[in-house]
Amino acid sequence: MKIEDIKLVMTCEVCPEQYKAMVDGKQVAYLRLRHGIFTVEAPDCGGVLILKTFPIGDGCFVENERAYFLTRAKELIVNYYKRHKRFKKIYDNYEL
């Protein structure tokens, strides 16, 4: 899995701003900014917390921070799956 394999699908625009991270139609992570807390969980909401941070935006990103945080989230998703080889059987068509 590479960063460019991950497609972010916005599921809510504001309060919270949230996304599903998808690879070939399979959800690999859930991203949400709510009450000033941006979290990334794998593979879905309630899964393993791989990022928790506090951007300026409350229910949505301020425009100049969105690209940074979403790119960082993708990097951490890739790193998470590289570290957890047990998911290789689920995503066995990717080089982990």
pLDDT in tens, 39-64: 999 999 999 999 999 999 888 999 89
Q: Quickly state the pLDDT bin for 87 (edges 50, 70, 90).
A: low
Interacting residues of 80 by C-beta distance below 8 A, sequence separation 6+: 29, 42, 48, 50
What pLDDT score does 75 carry?
97
Q: φ, ψ for residue 65 (rounded to 5)?
A: -110, -15
- C-beta of residue 1 within 8 angstroms of C-beta of residue 88: no
C-alpha closest to that of 29 among 87, 96, 95, 68: 87
Q: How would residue 28 be classed by pLDDT, with cut points 50, 70 and 90? A: very high
- Burial zone of 85 (CB within 10 Å; 0-12 exposed, 13-18 middle, 19+ buried): exposed
Position of tokens 């879905």?
44
What is the pTM for the complete model shown?
A: 0.85
